[in-house]
A and B are shown apart, each in its own frame.
Chain A
Amino acid sequence: MREVAVIGVGMTNFGRFLDTPLKELGRMATWDALKDAGMSPKDIEIAYVGNACASIITGQTMVLGQIILKEVGIRHIPITNVENACASGSSAFREAWMAVASGLYDIALAVGAEKLYAGDTSLSTKALAGATEVEYEANLGLTMPGHWALRAKRFMEKYGTTREQLAKVSVKNHKNGCLNPRAQYRKECTVEEVLNSRMIADPLTILSCNPLGDGAAAAVLVSKEVAARYTKKPVWVAASALSSGSFDLNREVARNQLEEIAGKQAFDMAGIGPEDLDLAEVHDCFTIAEFMRVEGLGLVPEGEYGKWMDEDWAEIGGKLTINASGGLLAKGHPVGATGVAQVAEVVWHLRGEAGERQVPGARAGLVHCSGGGVASDTPACCVHILKT
């Protein structure tokens, strides 16, 4: 297996862009990544494009990847569309990594693009509920916030986590979002504001949930030999892992077994432990999700993230910075784009290019996305570790 480096990243702003078509968002991110890498569209040998909801929101049920990439003049090469719910972008990145790590290709492109808002939030909610087992869950009225609200209830019962501690995730991430020029929301909030904002599914208020929005991100991955010709600051993919849920009807709902699996695989592959990380972008689709996933991945011991929130240990420059970008809660969560946007974020920190939100001296970062909610379990979990 060969070493693989990320030499170019691009990311649009995240937000609501009713006038910008999905393919243009994808084009913008791809073009920025190519320019960042110093490459031409004709250099790309293989591409993977992650998206989850285009079929419902825009009607584009198929071939979105090929449509986006023709906008930058990419043609004839192998292009595959990738869907793993919220882990679509991460999975596209993983496929691109495998293409180069295997030795089959030297230059791969990963893109994630999503348009979640087309003027009808009811439709967006329905599209997102398509990540449950639709026949038995979404069609009965279960939503993704509802799925997570149930897991929050069980988690709070098991560990004694309070609503205030959960709210602190939102406070932290909104504060970080203020430092991120691409974030959808750049406004701080207090614990009281989070708790008193509109209730979506008890205990998750609107400020506890990721917003609906649009955006795209892209990354260029190359072999070591190619990296040496293009950049002095390659960022190495030290680990890649993808796991699936068990959907066991007796499993403990308050634990994330698939994060435990993917986290362990990633740390073993990278040859480091959580204590060696400087930052992590962890999929905080809801405040409770950051709690469960930070613990599931082994970044924080079981049951202890509440204390981390009380002590501000996950702030920028703290014991381990979690979601310097503002996370999904503040930066936004155009579903297919998120995984690749997290890679862009960590790459910027590892290059020293993260501006006001820079984690000082960052040399190793972890990115994590998990997607879907079925039978109270999560279907897909994708983790990468990036190092200088």
Chain B
Amino acid sequence: MIWPHSKMKVAYRREVVLMDNAPQGKQVIPVIRGAFEMEGEEPHLIGTRCSKCGKAFFPPRSVCSYCLTDEGIEPARLGNRGKLYAYTVINVASREFNPPYPFGFVIIEPEMIRIPTLLTEMPDQEILEAGTEMEMVVTKLRDDKEGNEIVTYKFRPVAND
């Protein structure tokens, strides 16, 4: 079985170095190990891709669901921009998530797969249309019980130039 974070050494350590604004003695912990990494300043989700059919998967799958084989599967750094598919604002949630917050689906490109994701920097008074350009960021989700910072990927609308 191929798991990206077992073959690719970069994911966890690089995040800790780049996001070093946590309080003294505290750690920065990704909400899912190996799910995302930084390439310089650019964040990317880490999924898998089947080299036989070209389809990508996030969460990563070790067997291609289309080819039904693991022969072509390899870890893949996925596109970090996409289009908004739908979103909602969650008002009621388990306490630690501190609602309300926006959540949605983004179709990331070029893989054209739909990702469930938190959203951020959403406009106050405006409803975003499906198809709005979105980009990935890595940012704080919450603190854990020991005061470590838990970080996650989110998508935000691309600023108009």
Q: Which residues of A line the B interface, CB within 8 A?
A: 121-123, 125-126, 129, 133, 135-137, 139-143, 145-146, 149-151, 153-154, 157, 198-203, 247-250, 253, 375-376
CB pair B113–A250 under 8 Å, yes or no, is yes
Which B53-80 residues sit within 8 Å CB-CB of chain A? Answer: 57-59, 65
What is the distance, in angstroms, from A224's C-beta to the closest C-beta of chain B?
41
| CB < 8 Å neighbour of B88 from A125, A153, A247, A253 | A153
- Which 5 residue pairs across A and B have the least CB separation, nearest first? A149-B88, A249-B113, A153-B86, A126-B94, A141-B97
Contact A143/B93 with A149-B88, A376-B105, A376-B116 known, Cβ cut-off 8 Å = yes
> Known pairs A140-B152, A154-B86, A253-B114. 15 more at Cβ < 8 A?
A121-B92, A125-B92, A145-B90, A146-B103, A150-B88, A150-B103, A153-B88, A199-B89, A201-B91, A202-B91, A249-B57, A249-B58, A250-B114, A253-B86, A376-B105
CB pair B92–A140 under 8 Å, yes or no, is no
CB pair B114–A140 under 8 Å, yes or no, is no
CB pair B89–A141 under 8 Å, yes or no, is no
CB pair B32–A136 under 8 Å, yes or no, is yes
| CB < 8 Å neighbour of B130 from A142, A157, A202 | A157
CB pair A137–B116 under 8 Å, yes or no, is yes
| CB < 8 Å neighbour of A135 from B32, B65, B97 | B32
Which B137-160 residues sit within 8 Å CB-CB of chain A? Answer: 141, 152
Name 20 interchain pairs, CB-CB below 8 A, sorted by A. A122-B94, A125-B94, A126-B94, A135-B59, A136-B35, A136-B59, A141-B93, A141-B99, A142-B90, A142-B116, A143-B90, A146-B93, A150-B104, A150-B105, A157-B130, A200-B91, A201-B89, A202-B88, A249-B113, A375-B114
Residues on B with beta carbons closer than 8 Å to the beta carbon of A122? 93-95
CB pair A202–B89 under 8 Å, yes or no, is yes
Residues on B with beta carbons closer than 8 Å to the beta carbon of A199? 89, 91
Q: Closest chain A residue to B127 by CB distance?
A: A202
B101 within 8 A of A: yes
Residues on B with beta carbons closer than 8 Å to the beta carbon of A247? 65
Give the number of A-B contacts (CB < 8 Å).
Answer: 99
Per the CB 8 Å criterion, the residue count for chain B at the interface is 33
B87 within 8 A of A: yes
Q: Closest chain B residue to A154 by CB distance?
A: B86
CB pair B91–A150 under 8 Å, yes or no, is no
Determine the distance from Cα of A200 to Cα of B88 in the docked complex, in whole angstroms: 10
Determine the distance from Cα of A136 to Cα of B24 in the docked complex, in whole angstroms: 29
What is the distance, in angstroms, from B126's C-beta to the closest C-beta of chain A?
14
CB pair B86–A150 under 8 Å, yes or no, is yes
B118 within 8 A of A: yes
B8 within 8 A of A: no
B85 within 8 A of A: yes
CB pair B116–A140 under 8 Å, yes or no, is yes
Residues on B with beta carbons closer than 8 Å to the beta carbon of A200? 90-92
Determine the distance from Cα of A227 to Cα of B92 in the docked complex, in whole angstroms: 48
Determine the distance from Cα of A129 to Cα of B101 in the docked complex, in whole angstroms: 16
B31 within 8 A of A: yes
B112 within 8 A of A: yes
CB pair B90–A146 under 8 Å, yes or no, is yes
| CB < 8 Å neighbour of A140 from B88, B99, B118 | B118
Residues on A with beta carbons closer than 8 Å to the beta carbon of B94? 122-123, 125-126, 129, 143
What is the distance, in angstroms, from A91's C-beta to the closest C-beta of chain B?
24
What is the distance, in angstroms, from A120's C-beta to the closest C-beta of chain B?
9
CB pair A139–B32 under 8 Å, yes or no, is yes
What is the distance, in angstroms, from B92's C-beta to the closest C-beta of chain A?
5
Q: Closest chain A residue to B97 by CB distance?
A: A141
